[in-house]
Amino acid sequence: MMRPKNTFIHSVILYVLLFFSNRVFADGCFFYEVEQIGNSAESPNQRALIIYDGEKETLVLQVKYSGEVEKFAWVVPLPNLPEANTITTEDDTIFEEIHDETQPKVYRIFDRYGKGYYLGGGGGEGDSELIPEVAVQVWERLQVGPYEVAVLSGASSQALIDWLATNGYDFPGEAHAIIDFYIQKHWYFVATRVHVASTLDKNNSSYQAGLPALKMQFQTDKPVFPLRISELTSANENEIELYVAAPHRMVCESYHTVAMEQEEVQRLIEKQIDENNANSSTGIACACDQATEPAQNETEYDYEAIFQDKIASFTKPTFIVEHATMQWTSYNPIEYPDHGSFNGYFNEYFSPGEEFWLTRLRTILTPSDMQEDVTFIPDTNGDEWFYLWIHIEDKISNPWSATLFNLSGIILLPFFALKKFRRRQWKELLMAILAITIATI
């Protein structure tokens, strides 16, 4: 029979091996995950990229539309005539790239002790067409991708509405007040409808199905997003997501603007995690449930609920800043066209090597909230970086802990019972208890 001392030594070796093998699992490789939270790239009813160099605006915009293609009519008011050859379609992947870059994120670190490090197409010029009987001037007509486009100005709302109806644009006839709003400011109108002979699927014409973004360029004193006209055809609640690339961080001049609060979001996300963990806890540690990587739970963070509660807390229409960071262009865009922010996308809009700010603003509005266009000015608080990166540090529980603790008690129980053994081997016994305790924390 093996002597008690040898048995005890083997027990100590066993627990030391268990202890160090567990340490390799926990600290040798901590887990982290980076997860976007909040709205998807496809969720906004309207989204736009506004690029402003101080004198000229490039407007890339896209609307969500579901219905028969023949009834699609999109009228965009502009403060000045679009510059020649600048009305084109745009690949909407730029929206996906900017959305992914500016979307709030959770950097979640899973470490045994709760410690870790975070890582951180276009057309040519058209002849001006004057129609005296309806007092509408057609500055340009062109085919742009799947769209038929007409650039118009009018002396009265009735004349413009009649022209749209006569030329096949399914536009609300009761839009006099809003059209007059723009005519009195001497604005122009870019009227767009889908060319029915295009290959676009008529029965599924939301923008995911192929309605591309539309891009145009024009002179303006201030960057602007023409929102007022959206009151005519908008849904009861409209998510609007705007990106403004300009020399400064921007805020809305015509609408209340606030920045989402990092500490508030952090606290609410942590609260959601605590509540989810409390609801999912069984109180039983089972070795068969040992996790080898962070649990994937798509419903664990509900940032959209936080965003919507924030919007609802204001008594007036409000845009929320969710991101504002400095970007850059290539120092040599001719030789290195793909250098700079977003794979060189902004190289043609700013000077070589120029830094600019990208601000993301989002809101949810009803039609009655859309009483003004959205104009932008530099943030009076100055150019400060802002982004929502939520850092969560989680301590991974060791499901083997209860099993090891119980097993250790069973093995060591005989040694505790032997008075003679306790007198001679108390140091070894103390070391074993310490090793087991550390291994099961």
Least confident of 163-167, 234-238, 355-359: 234-238
Q: Percentage of residues in the chain with pLDDT exceeding 70?
A: 66
Identify whether 245 is part of a domain.
yes
Per-residue pLDDT averaged across 363-390, rounded?
94
Q: How far apart are CA 237 and CA 234, in angstroms?
A: 8
Largest CA distance in the chain: 117
pLDDT at 361 over 90: yes
pLDDT at 172: 80
pLDDT at 66: 66
As a whole number, the mean pLDDT across the chain is: 78
Identify whether 200 is part of a domain.
yes
Q: What is the pLDDT of residues 193-206, one digit of tens each?
A: 887 665 455 444 44
Helix H or strand E segment including 213: strand 213-219
Identify whether 276 is part of a domain.
no
The residue whose two tokens read 């609260």 is 271
pLDDT at 87 over 80: yes
Q: Are the C-beta atoms of 109 and 35 separated by less than 8 Å?
A: no
The secondary structure of residue 273, as a DSSP letter, is H
Q: What is the pLDDT of residues 295-354, one digit of tens each?
A: 444 557 889 999 999 999 999 999 999 999 999 999 999 999 999 999 999 999 999 999
pLDDT at 79 over 90: yes
pLDDT at 127 over 70: no
pTM of the predicted model as reported, rounded to 2 decimal places: 0.77
Tell me, what amino acid is at 137?
Q
pLDDT at 252: 98
Identify whether 407 is part of a domain.
no
Instruction: Name 92's Cβ contacts closer than 8 Å, sequence gap at least 6.
Output: 62, 207, 212, 213
Identify whether 102 is part of a domain.
yes
Identify whether 440 is part of a domain.
no
pLDDT at 291: 41
Identify whether 72 is part of a domain.
yes
Beta-ladder partners of 238: 365
Beta-ladder partners of 142: 149
**Segments in 227-261 forming alpha helices (H):** none
Least confident of 58-62, 86-90, 214-218, 430-434: 430-434
Least confident of 70-74, 93-97, 123-127, 387-391: 123-127
Least confident of 142-151, 169-178, 239-248: 169-178
pLDDT at 70 over 90: no
pLDDT band at 36 (very low <50, low <70, confident <90, very high): confident
Identify whether 26 is part of a domain.
no
pLDDT at 5: 53
Structural domain range at position 61: 37-265+294-395
Q: How far apart are CA 145 and CA 191, in angstroms?
A: 14
Nearest to 373 by CA among 215, 160, 222: 222
Instruction: Name 384's Cβ contacts closer than 8 Å, sequence gap at least 6.
Output: 249, 324
Instruction: Name 284's Cβ contacts closer than 8 Å, sequence gap at least 6.
Output: none
pLDDT at 436 over 90: no
When divided into structural domains, the chain yields a total of 1
Per-residue pLDDT averaged across 213-233, rounded?
93
pLDDT at 232: 83
The residue whose two tokens read 């000229």 is 56
Q: What is the pLDDT of residues 101-114, one digit of tens each?
A: 999 988 877 654 44
Sign for the pseudo-dihedral over CA of 363, 367, 370, 373: positive
Per-residue pLDDT averaged across 381-400, rounded?
76
